[in-house]
A and B are shown apart, each in its own frame.
Chain A
Amino acid sequence: MSLLSLITGAHTKRDEENELREIIRKEAKIGGRLFGPVPSNGRREFFCLNQDTWVWHEEWTDMQGLHHSITTRYDVRPNGILKAQDNQPYQYVGRDEAIRLCQAVSMYRRQVDAELYGIAA
């Protein structure tokens, strides 16, 4: 929140954008924990970017000390769920992946509701 908005009480567009980013950050951290422990040298985020898009981001360091990161985007379409990943073509997710993604998404909602919005399942 900017100093100006604190003084005037006005809620600027930038304030809202910052608050939205902060909320997504919190959601993404909660989402990253849904899949078990994250390696101490790694990072995992899973979050709802917008109405149609889910993002998985993972970073890790291999045995040679090289840093890796991979971002996976799931686009939810009326006729299926498209997956886009680094260096791979778009493809519709299969049955098993769709099921697991749905599990993760449903858990995401419940856990975010409980931890961030204070609403129990």
Chain B
Amino acid sequence: MSLFSLTGREKFHGIQTPEEALNRLDEVEINRRATMIGAVEYMLDVACLNPEVAKVIRPAFSPEHMNQVAPVVAANVVTGQAMQATVQHTPEQPVATQPQPEQIEHVAPQTVEEAPSAPVEQPSAQPEMDWVDAIAARAQEIHDNRGKFDVAA
């Protein structure tokens, strides 16, 4: 990365193809993207080991289906409310859009439902520059404390 490297969208201005975009990425970004892609594919493979999950996952992530819903997702993901409306009005495509609010409690219990709707001034306890390290360390701490073989039935 040079002193004059651009960041964010500027870096990719005028890009027409994925190959062009990759040419603009530096090594760190390429490695990170490769990790991310690999993690996604690995996770889908693991999830699809469960036949019941595979029945839902595989059709939902077919190229045809994702091409159909991708523009909707991309257009609405920035505005969550718009996405909620989209999800509610496309019941035939719920799987490939975002999880609905009532589903969040199953992924991360005690989170969204307990959050008050009224805005309250409460700055995060973690400084912006340290939060990735802090969260990653916390995740590792959870992992270490529980142990790899401490698995509930």
Residues on A close to B: CB < 8 A?
A: 1, 6, 9, 11, 15-16, 19-21, 23-25, 27-28, 33-37, 39-45, 48-63, 65, 67-73, 75-82, 84-86, 89-92, 95-114, 116-121
Contacts of B36 in A (CB 8 A): 27, 48, 108-109, 112
Judge whether B29 and A117 touch: CB under 8 Å: yes
Contacts of A69 in B (CB 8 A): 125
A interface footprint on B115-152 (CB within 8 Å = 1, 0 otherwise): 11101111011000001110110110011001100111
Count of chain B residues with a beta carbon within 8 Å of a chain A beta carbon: 89
Contacts of B38 in A (CB 8 A): 51
Within residues 103 to 125 of chain B, which ones have a CB less than 8 A from any CB in chain A? Answer: 103-104, 106-112, 114-117, 119-122, 124-125
Contacts of B106 in A (CB 8 A): 96-97, 100
Judge whether B43 and A60 touch: CB under 8 Å: no
Tally inter-chain residue pairs, CB-CB below 8 A. 254
Among B25, B26, B53, B98, point to the contact of A36 (Cβ < 8 A): B98
Residues on B close to A: CB < 8 A?
A: 1-3, 8-9, 11-12, 15, 18, 21-22, 24-29, 32-33, 35-40, 42-44, 46-47, 49-50, 52-53, 56-57, 60-61, 66-67, 70, 73-74, 77-78, 80-81, 83-84, 95-101, 103-104, 106-112, 114-117, 119-122, 124-125, 131-133, 135-136, 138-139, 142-143, 146-147, 150-152
